[in-house]
Amino acid sequence: MKDLQDAYGHEVYDYLEEQQGFEIVEREDGFIGPSGGPEIYFRPYKDWYAHQKKAMKYVKGKVLDIGCGAGRHALYLQSKGFDVIGIDQSPLALKVCRLRGLKKTKRVPIEKISANLGKFDTILMQGNNFGLFGNFQKAQRLLKRFHAITNEQARLIAESRDIYATTDPVHLRYHALNRRRGRMSGQIRLRVRYRHYKTPWFDYLMVSKEEMEKILEGTRWRVKKFIDGNYAMYNAIIEKEYK
């Protein structure tokens, strides 16, 4: 990743240094909107949403935090005594994690996750990071890979948002466009912008609970429990099938 493409890294680094910053999300259809901004990536556990706090109770053993960002989840788990490694593709985000005290970080995009990282008991995809799977086929392919790098009785804890919980005609038109192109309704093509920095375009996948369960079919993972949250967000506690 070139420095000018690391929009996310620059926004969280600037927030760490100056407690200010913003994040703009640009969708391929021309829709532009602000996200919650970098502040949310630094929130302490006491300020997390209730469904996110509940999900942490299911973490066990050695933890892989995928898309760790500024490190809020990994740092919390580290403080509770868990052996956790945070991975991200943003060099500056990982620097922020280290400056905040995260002991183990590695620059690895989700597509490059392999047994070289070790074996894990929990894979964490919080912060709506089920979206990093990008599309149906890639999700299934990576879930099968995750099966190989996890121990028996491992768990995948993933957060997503039900994109069907909207009446906004702009979003509904985009969902329909995706379906006409043979894509999932919530397969969003976007990029993140901050000041003069902008990421490359990438796909980010938001799914309903039913769609998530469909994706899991044939991957030897299954949903044990859904934890509902605010703003159509939810966490899925996903267990490994190992017999």
- Domain extents for the chain? 3-240
Distance CA 234, CA 25 (A): 21
DSSP state of 131: G
Distance CA 193, CA 200 (A): 10
- Mutual angle of helices 209-216 and 136-148, in 10-degree steps: 60
Residues 6+ positions from 8 with CB-CB distance below 8 Å: 23, 69, 90, 92, 93, 192, 194, 199
Element (H, E) at 228: strand 221-228
What would the two tokens of residue 65 be?
């935090």
Residue 36: the pLDDT is 81
Please indicate, yes or no, whether the overall pTM of this predicted structure exceeds 0.85: yes
The number of beta carbons lying within 10 Å of the beta carbon of residue 37 is 15
Q: Which CATH superfamily is domain 3-240 in?
A: Vaccinia Virus protein VP39 (3.40.50.150)
**Residue the block writes with tokens 């938001």:** 206
Cα pseudo-dihedral 173, 135, 88, 224, rounded to 10: 100
Amino acid (one-letter) located at 75: L
Distance CA 92, CA 38 (A): 13
Pairing label, strands 221-228, 233-240: antiparallel
Distance CA 151, CA 172 (A): 41
- Mutual angle of helices 7-18 and 91-99, in 10-degree steps: 30
What would the two tokens of residue 191 be?
């990029």
Q: Profile the chain (243 residues) by mean pLDDT over runs of 10 residues.
A: 95 94 95 91 96 98 98 98 98 98 97 95 97 98 96 96 96 98 97 97 98 97 97 96 76
